[in-house]
Amino acid sequence: MQTSKLSKTELFERVSIPRALAAMGIPTIISQLINLIYNMVDAFFIGRTGNSYMMAATTVTLTLTMLNVAFANLYGVGGGSLIARLMGQRREAEGRQVCAYAIRGALLLGLGYALVTALFRDPILRFLGASQATLGYARDYTLYVIIIGSAPTILSLTLGHLLRNTGCSAQASFGLSMGGVLNMVLDPLFMFVLLPKGQEVTGAAVATLISNLVSCGYLLWALKKAALKAPLTLDLRQAAGLAREHRGSLYSVGIPSAVLTGLFDLASICVNKLAAAHDDLVLAAFGIVMKVERIPNAVNIGICQGMMPIVAYNYAAGNRERMRAAVNAARLWGLLVSALSILLLELFARPVTNLFLSTSAGDPAGALATVGFAAAFLRVRCLAAPVQLINYHSSFSLQAVGNGRDTMLHACVRELGIYIPLMYLLDRLFGQMGLAAALPAGEGLAAVFALWLLRRALRDRSREAAAAE
């Protein structure tokens, strides 16, 4: 479904909810999946070496990579949600100011993150769980992907959010997917052809950097072209005219969204440190599992991201019935995806995890042990898919209606109040399998809280609308 065939007004206001959600969600899901493959492809090709320590190093650096997503959410989700609401109110000029402000902020944040990482690279990597055996690999990967590559990566993700929230989902998805496809081509070239043996991690990092630069260039061009019809701009001077109330609205949604992803990263750090305390092979196994379980998560996040601008637009336009229909449809679609993923991962846990680490090259004994751990962990952790969907869906819905307070509350309770304490408790009581079981247990408890928050927020918004009339 190409959103360009429909005007933005038709898409957000009149097209049936299933069709509108498909038009916004399908390109986003494709983009999420391709970018997931793009993030997994490094691990896949590194796994061909049979070196569990290289695999463990990519697990450590995954946290730093995911912080790029958190920083992009600050200005991308915050700015994109606000622009969608301004479109619903027919305030396009102010939307362009928001766009300029978001792009400028994302660029500065990316440069700042790169500088801090460059100054404190080794202490950061050791804190994240790097051992003496994995530190050198992790340093090489961080140099290219974070220190050199974080600014274009954060900018790309931000541009994608801005395009998606103005109805240009296909353009955003193509640009982000382009980087993923290119990385799949460049990874084996740099890892196994251009660089010598033993430099596979460096080759993967260089390929990722080049892919991110190309993706960023395309998205800049796409946004410039889309600005002819949508409230977007690359003229950063317009950021100076943004009203204080709009800055507050951007941060009220963007900060909780960034914190949500940041707390997810904090939870990953805790998993890594607890896993590393057991063994480097256990750490590598959790790294494989956390990549596999991102597949259903990527689909569900794509559904929620496709839903978000429809909800935001209709909330601002006062069409509560259409807003609720979009919320309910997205939840149903996500639950169906989650149920299917549990079935497939329970049946094929061993062959799926085996894809990420060769058991016939390098250190076969270590690789076999790692894959065995990974399959066992995956069968437990995949049970979290439906309740993770509820948490994602509720958070995106709250962000769409500008409810940053409850988004922040949910993020803090979910990770700090429930999941992280549970992982330490269950790891202590039941060891590494308890650590794996903490995810479905924690997400399930958080989902109950998320549903209550969302129901309360939508009820309060309906009361406000009735009082205004």
CA-closest candidate to residue 167, choices 340, 28, 40 = 28
Lowest pLDDT segment from 51-60, 66-75, 367-376: 51-60
- Overall average pLDDT of the 422-448 stretch: 94
Answer yes or no: is 281 within a domain.
Answer: yes
CB 432 within 8 A of CB 341: no
Predicted pLDDT at 6: 55
Answer yes or no: is 2 within a domain.
Answer: no
List the structure tokens of 337. 């995806």
How far is residue 83 from each of residues 168, 215, 281, 320, measured CA to CA in Å?
13, 23, 46, 19
Predicted pLDDT at 196: 78
Looking at per-residue pLDDT, the higher value among 111 and 198 belongs to 111
CA gap 154, 152 in Å, rounded: 6
Summarize pLDDT for 142-155 with one digit per residue, the tens.
899 899 999 999 99
Q: Which domain holds residue 400?
A: 14-463
Summarize pLDDT for 94-132 with one digit per residue, the tens.
889 999 999 999 999 999 999 999 999 889 888 877 777
CA gap 346, 338 in Å, rounded: 12
Residue 319 has pLDDT above 50, yes or no: yes
CA gap 246, 244 in Å, rounded: 5
Q: How many CA atoms lie within 13 A of 1 on its CB side?
A: 20
Predicted pLDDT at 4: 45
Predicted pLDDT at 50: 65
> Band of the pLDDT at 1, cuts 50, 70, 90?
very low
Predicted pLDDT at 362: 59
CA-closest candidate to residue 262, choices 38, 420, 405, 446 = 420
Percentage of residues in the chain having pLDDT higher than 90: 28
Answer yes or no: is 306 within a domain.
Answer: yes
The SS3 call for residue 261 is helix
Angle (nearest 5°) at CA 418 between 412 and 423: 125
Answer yes or no: is 91 within a domain.
Answer: yes
Q: How many CA atoms lie within 13 A of 428 on its CB side?
A: 6
| Angle between the N-to-C axes of helices 52-88 and 364-381, in degrees from 0 to 180, rounded to the nearest 10 | 30
> Band of the pLDDT at 426, cuts 50, 70, 90?
very high
CB 352 within 8 A of CB 261: no
List the structure tokens of 69. 């997503």
Answer yes or no: is 1 within a domain.
Answer: no
CB 427 within 8 A of CB 435: yes
Please tell me the total count of domains within the chain: 1
Summarize pLDDT for 323-361 with one digit per residue, the tens.
889 989 999 999 999 999 999 999 998 888 887 766 666
Answer yes or no: is 234 within a domain.
Answer: yes
- Average pLDDT of the chain, as a whole number: 84
CA gap 429, 427 in Å, rounded: 6
Residues in the chain: 469
* Long-range contacts at 417-424 (CB < 8 A, ≥ 24 apart): 418/442, 418/445, 418/446, 419/267, 419/443, 419/446, 420/266, 420/267, 420/270, 423/267, 423/270, 423/271, 423/274, 424/270, 424/274
* Torsion sign, CA atoms 23, 98, 411, 174: positive
- Overall average pLDDT of the 256-269 stretch: 82
Predicted pLDDT at 175: 82
Answer yes or no: is 6 within a domain.
Answer: no
Among 119-128, 151-160, 226-235, top mean pLDDT goes to 151-160
Percentage of residues in the chain having pLDDT higher than 70: 90
CB 139 within 8 A of CB 62: no
Answer yes or no: is 208 within a domain.
Answer: yes
